[in-house]
């Protein structure tokens, strides 16, 4: 244990703290949910005031890193990656990619330090994404449900001039409703399967997931993206989950009905998104597929055995013809219209 681990709280375990009487996984609620806006008690968007922390394997936080880059907020919002070290894993997310395992801007070793700065009595898991105020060194928002929407709307003044409109005013209600459907049926359904402690709870999540996949496959038979010709916030949310299914999530599941690559429309759609630089730059397939144990004397899953031999870049960059479904085949993004922001 490192000296800076002293005084850190042990990370709570999902299967001990977030399982109901039926053996179903009930994800902990987000703790820091103050919205961004112009109201008196709302957070204020500003350039250089916040730092985003995320992790390669966490699709909840991967959403925010992709949207940040898509919108050209790379100068306005700082960023750093978290990970796990073998010796300090019990303490949760740590700055393992930095010198001395410390964030070079704020000097912390663990993400939890920002949580306890904001609420010394916090007892839940310290999760990513976490948006931290660099002046106070406190988490101000960890609400993955809404964080990308805040980037899309509240941080509009700091976006690149040609930033895409991922959350068009005329579609916001539909996007919100669809995102609310994606959460239990796709995004969280994978975890509902992986953390289920009863076969009944597992099967419920399994059926929800594959029923939703069938619906999405049908939807994408006529639409290039979920809402037609242009990428929206919903596409980011779907991509980050499905990008991890065949490379990681399957390890913790029983017999699966289909792989993601077995869905003709979904698989081509994901590749259509992957060639967009912000998606490709923030998707670390080799890290996601990395072996779960360094002990090679035990049986290892497919990806663990062959991760160094699999050409993820080539597989995910394989040509597809999704643009034929679009009225604007060479343009994947809707741009902001003046007076309609």
Q: pLDDT digit string (tens) for 15-40?
A: 889 999 999 999 999 999 999 999 99
58 is catalytic: yes
How confident is the model over 84-94, as a mean pLDDT? 92
> Ramachandran region of residue 313, left (φ > 0), alpha (ψ -120 to 50) or beta?
alpha
Number of H helices, E strands in the chain: 13, 4
How confident is the model over 224-251, as a mean pLDDT? 97
Domains of the chain, first to last: 3-158 (3.40.30.10), 169-325 (1.20.1050.10)
Helices of type H across 140-232:
147-153, 172-182, 189-195, 199-219
Q: Which residue in the list 191, 202, 250, 269 is annotated as catalytic?
A: 191
- Range of weakest confidence among 195-204, 236-245, 247-256, 262-271: 247-256
Task: Give the pTM.
Answer: 0.94
Exposure of 269 in the CB half-sphere (CA atoms within 13 A): 31
Whether the predicted pLDDT of 2 surpasses 80: no
126 is catalytic: no
pLDDT tens string 100-143 = 999 999 999 999 999 999 999 999 999 999 999 999 999 999 99
Q: Which residue in the list 58, 110, 178, 274 is annotated as catalytic?
A: 58
pLDDT tens string 68-83 = 999 999 999 999 999 9
* Residue-level pLDDT at 341: 54
User: What is the Cα 123 distance to its own chain's centre?
Assistant: 23
* Residue-level pLDDT at 9: 86
């Amino acid at each position: 244990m490192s000296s800076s681990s002293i005084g850190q709280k042990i990370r709570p375990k999902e299967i001990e703290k977030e399982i109901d009487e039926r053996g179903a996984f009930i994800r902990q609620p987000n703790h820091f949910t103050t919205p961004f806006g112009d109201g008196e008690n709302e957070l204020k968007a500003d350039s250089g005031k916040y730092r985003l922390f995320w992790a390669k394997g966490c699709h909840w936080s991967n959403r925010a890193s992709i949207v940040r880059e898509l919108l050209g907020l790379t100068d306005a919002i700082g960023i750093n990656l978290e990970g796990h070290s073998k010796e300090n894993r019990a303490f949760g997310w740590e700055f393992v990619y930095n010198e001395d395992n410390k964030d070079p801007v704020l000097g912390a070793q663990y993400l939890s330090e920002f949580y306890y700065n904001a609420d010394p009595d916090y007892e839940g898991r310290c999760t990513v994404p976490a948006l931290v105020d660099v002046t106070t060194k406190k988490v101000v928002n960890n609400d993955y449900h809404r964080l990308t929407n805040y980037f899309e709307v509240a941080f509009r003044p700091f976006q690149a001039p040609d930033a895409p409109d991922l959350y068009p005013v005329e579609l916001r209600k539909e996007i919100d409703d669809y995102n609310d459907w994606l959460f239990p049926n796709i995004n969280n359904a994978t975890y509902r399967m992986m953390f289920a402690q009863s076969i009944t709870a597992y099967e419920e999540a399994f059926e929800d997931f594959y029923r939703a996949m069938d619906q999405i496959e049908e939807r994408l038979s006529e639409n290039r993206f979920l809402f037609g010709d242009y990428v929206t916030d919903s596409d980011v949310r779907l991509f980050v989950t499905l990008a991890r299914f065949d490379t990681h999530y399957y390890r913790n599941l029983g017999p699966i009905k289909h792989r993601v690559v077995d869905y003709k429309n979904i698989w081509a759609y994901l590749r259509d998104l992957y060639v967009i630089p912000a998606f490709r730059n923030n998707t670390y397939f080799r890290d996601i597929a990395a072996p779960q144990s360094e002990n090679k004397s035990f049986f290892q899953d497919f990806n663990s055995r062959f991760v160094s031999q699999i050409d993820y870049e080539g597989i995910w960059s394989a040509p597809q013809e999704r643009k034929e479904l679009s009225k604007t085949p060479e343009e994947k993004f809707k741009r902001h219209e003046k007076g309609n922001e």
